[in-house]
Structure 1
Amino acid sequence: MIFSFMIHMKPISANAHVDVPSYNYSFWGDSIAAPDAFKAATLIQGDDLKFGAFKEPNDLFVTEDKTIYVMDSGNNRVVIMDKEFKALDAIDSFENENKTETFSNPQGIYVTEDKHIFIADTGNNRVVHLDQHYHLVGIIEKPESELLKEDYVFQPIRVVVDNADRVYVMAAGVFDGFMEFNVNGEFNTFIGANRVQIDPIELLWKRLSTQAQRSQMMMFIPTEFTNLDINSEGFIYATNGDDSSDKIKKLNARGTDILRREGYYSPIGDIRYPHDVGPSRLIDIDVTDSEVYSVLDSKQGRIFTYNGDGHLMYVFGGLGNQIGLFHTPVAIERVDDSFLVLDKTVGEITVFRETDYGHTINEANRSYYQGDEEKAFQLYKKAIELNANLEFAYTGIGKALLRQGDYKGAMENFKQSLDQKNYSKAFLLYRKELLRDYFPALMTIILVSAIGMIGFRTYRKMRKRKKGIAIE
């Protein structure tokens, strides 16, 4: 059945807004205050819809034309809105061989450029593929493979599709990576398995224990992924639930992690955190243009955004009962330059709007990525004026100057941001430039000096000979 309705939006009043301290991390790992990059602006709820409120929603998806899809899991349906947050349709069933079928606790959704919809229908152990008119195209069920145990239960949680129509599924209880299916829905292989995290002490005990004792110990198995997204180039960005330095991965077609980690710290969320809370647990990831990606931390409700080199750009969000904070955030998406954050417990979406500070950083990164070094240079300078503690902006300026051939200026900015790697690169180029510029003069001086020395020695020898002849 397909519904059409209007959705309720609550604008956030000034006195209802809560300002959560924003921050970044310095080279030394200290948290330093930063201006807000995003502020909560609108709250989307479904309380006064005749079909009822959102119930335990789990996922969001935004298409290129800014159509918004909400996986309303508790109501076993997909709610569709336009970019103005006006509801268009809801899908809670489809026809399959003249029979009406429904969803059961669906968890994930992905929509292709031609509006084909892939739904991780978790409770029914399948992935449902619908076309742009919500007609059934195909169903992916438990794959037949020697790589899976006979008693394995297929429970898809998230799904993405690449430009070649390959389907990648994150399924519960799978430790071998993502399941890859071809265009016909046939299982190909697993890709991108997480590395096994081994405790050295436990490994030593295992080696010293008897076989009976080892059988009672915990096995070393890879951790499960917690979410995934895919960019326009077909690279899969994924998060996992362990405490390693590679909580975020960028996987190529072979499943190899090619994420750049050139920031002060690996992209892992919070560097410092309360001991009773522990490190960030990243449960969702959203990839936008210019290699920028954002991740959601379920423990403290914060959204961390990184550029393509792995520098932390800004942080916002948090847990609490006020607008702009969350109870159980489960998904994030972007609509233009706004963020959508889905809260599972209260069944609502908070819309965050870009501030001038956030816009400046985003545009600076975008300009550099597009090759407009001069604009990037000016915007990074403005970002520093807005936040003198934004150390990575000096790296951005340095890179812009490096591309422009101003190696000395690049060195100065890399020194400011303590970026040793890029400083060394700029220094080598600056030294080559000096040698190239002064090489002719230097060689002339060397040549003249050499001729002068030869001439002087010849002159001294001639004088010695004359003196010897005069004495005789």
Structure 2
Amino acid sequence: MKKTMKRLSALLIGMMIALSSAMAVYADEGYTYNYDYWGDIQYSPDAYEVSGVYSAVDFGLETGLKTPSGLFVYEDMIYICDTGNNRILEIQRTGSQTLELIRVIDSFKGGEGPETFSSPQDVAVTDDGYIFIADTNNSRILKLDMDLNYVMEFTKPVDATFDQDLSFLPYKLAIDTAGRVYCVATNVNKGLIKFEADGEFSGFIGATEVTYDWTDYIWKRFATQAQREQMESFVPTEYDNIYMDYEGFIYACTTHVTKSTLEDGTADPIRRLNMMGSDILIRNGEWHIIGDIYWGDGGGYSGPSLITDITAFDNDVYVGLDKVRGRLFAYDDQGRMLFAFGGNGNMDGYFKLPSAIDHMGYDLLVLDQQDNSLAIFTPTEFGKYIYQAIDQFQAGEYAESGDSWQKVLELNGNYDRAYIGIGRSLLRQEEYEEALDYFRLKWDDENYSKAFKQYRKEWVEEHIGVIFIIVFAVLCIPLLVGKIKAIKHEIDQADIFRDYKQ
């Protein structure tokens, strides 16, 4: 009995040591990571740190936020759609960690309908001083001036292409420089609804491609009418959110994806639409732009990342927000993941149910619908060097960009993107042989091929004289030797003939 107790005690102690070791390893890893060429998770220094988390109390409000859904940043102003309270909060960022409530927008002046809001889901502000509000349950998009005077509204399209049996429930919106409105509406799966600046409906753009299984298609051909009605229709999916970048292109994201379509690459949860509605997002990364590439179950969460909102910087880096595990995924203009961070939880830097994201400079702002709070993240030294390297490369400062990537490597020697970044900077500086080494290290076949092609061309140009001599020698020396041998043979034959005659 005593031996049994000792064994059990030893086993229990061993399990505790193993568990504590595992917890220590997990704690050391942090919550910022990336994927290498082989798909292994590589933890890294944090690219962002929490600047502050703010609730209604911090804004001096007696009534707390209630299911906030929309977020918009304009210069130093932050607009929050406090959906459950039917109001818009206008907040000014007066310092890196200081936010000041300017006004609560819960009504406006003018118009023929109600002068209050009903479940507003999104808001946008334009350079010419107008506020657009997706007043969802009032079935309209409002356009107000900065004094909250009614200007106009965008209502349900009266058009054969819009199902008149559907209610018009504008959900998310974006406004271009000409005042045109692009809207995501609940239950509309034909793409983005587009209104001209005068309120005229001008059609749908950017509908996602229809995907279906051939076996389902064949089965539908032979199924009865009742069976077909019970089967899922082959229709485009709906968008969840949109964001218009500085060039006027629209980033759109959708959570209407499946595991199978994400795995085989047929689903595009993030798209970049031009004015024709075509997807022009570049996908040159090793992995699909889907957030996490592994979907292990744990903590009550399962399944793939669901990108519910997106924002984009002026250097074409874009960040998607995953509502499943509360993570943020940043990608460069080539579709390579720069980093991912975040998670679900109650601590600062984690979320319960993130609903919206925007940026102020390189700072990221995330709205948590369940925690009823706004979190602000600022780049760390590691993150600043990454952005600095990308900005310098886009500005044509290739040597400086390479130096910045080198500083990134000093902070994280396993960071693949830094090796590729140095290689690309060397490629632009026409240092092709050196660039090959960096691309080879991180298995970047595409850039390696570009560098090798230029290196081969340069090498040929530098050694053209030697190449010509070698080619000449290879082709002409055998002919010359043969000619000499023939002449010598003729001479020998002539000597033999002369001796014979004598």
TM-score by length of 1: 0.92
For 2:69, the equivalent position in structure 1 comes to 58
Is residue 130 of structure 1 aligned with residue 144 of structure 2? yes
The number of equivalent residue pairs is: 455
Aligned pairs for 1:281-296 (under 5 A) are 281-296=306-321
Q: CA deviation at 1:254?
A: 0.8
Counterpart contact for 2:80–2:88, Cα < 8 Å? yes
Task: Rate the CA distance shift 1:120–1:419 in 2: closer, same or farther, 3 A.
Answer: same
Aligned pairs for 1:168-317 (under 5 A) are 168-241=182-255, 242-243=257-258, 244=262, 245=265, 246-275=268-297, 277-317=302-342
For 2:386, the equivalent position in structure 1 comes to 361
Q: What code does the residue aligned with 2:458 have?
A: E
For 1:43, the equivalent position in structure 2 comes to 53
Task: Rate the CA distance shift 1:129–1:55 in 2: closer, same or farther, 3 A.
Answer: same
Secondary structure class of the residue paired with 1:262: coil
Aligned pairs for 1:337-376 (under 5 A) are 337-376=362-401
5+ residue gaps, structure 1, are 1-16
Deviations 1:105-138 (A, max 9, x none): 0001111122311110001000001123322221
Deviations 1:196-250 (A, max 9, x none): 2313443343234234322321211111111110111111001011134411000
Among 53, 67, 78, the residue aligned to 1:68: 78
The more displaced of 51-60 and 446-455 is 446-455
Secondary structure class of the residue paired with 1:273: coil
For 1:459, the equivalent position in structure 2 comes to 484
5+ residue gaps, structure 2, are 1-26, 498-502
Among 446, 458, 480, the residue aligned to 1:421: 446
- The higher radius of gyration belongs to 2
Measure the CA separation in 2 of the matches of 1:466 and 1:28: 71
Q: What code does the residue aligned with 1:232 have?
A: Y
Of Structure 1 and Structure 2, the greater helix share is in: 2
Measure the CA separation in 2 of the matches of 1:18 and 1:121: 46
Q: What code does the residue aligned with 1:152 have?
A: L
Q: What code does the residue aligned with 1:145 have?
A: D
Secondary structure class of the residue paired with 1:382: helix
Q: CA deviation at 1:97?
A: 4.5
For 2:405, the equivalent position in structure 1 comes to 380
For 1:81, the equivalent position in structure 2 comes to 91
Counterpart contact for 2:117–2:135, Cα < 8 Å? yes
Counterpart contact for 2:329–2:339, Cα < 8 Å? yes
Q: CA deviation at 1:447?
A: 3.2
The more displaced of 113-122 and 213-222 is 213-222
Secondary structure class of the residue paired with 1:95: coil
TM-score by length of 2: 0.87
Measure the CA separation in 1 of the matches of 2:487 and 2:205: 83
For 2:428, the equivalent position in structure 1 comes to 403
Identity among equivalent positions (%) equals 37
The more displaced of 462-471 and 248-257 is 462-471
Task: Rate the CA distance shift 1:50–1:293 in 2: closer, same or farther, 3 A.
Answer: closer
For 1:111, the equivalent position in structure 2 comes to 125
Measure the CA separation in 2 of the matches of 1:419 and 1:352: 31
Counterpart contact for 1:20–1:318, Cα < 8 Å? no
Q: CA deviation at 1:139?
A: 0.2
| TM-align CA RMSD | 2.0
Measure the CA separation in 2 of the matches of 1:211 and 1:70: 47
Task: Rate the CA distance shift 1:97–1:455 in 2: closer, same or farther, 3 A.
Answer: closer
Counterpart contact for 1:228–1:236, Cα < 8 Å? yes
Is residue 468 of structure 1 aligned with residue 493 of structure 2? yes
Task: Rate the CA distance shift 1:407–1:167 in 2: closer, same or farther, 3 A.
Answer: same
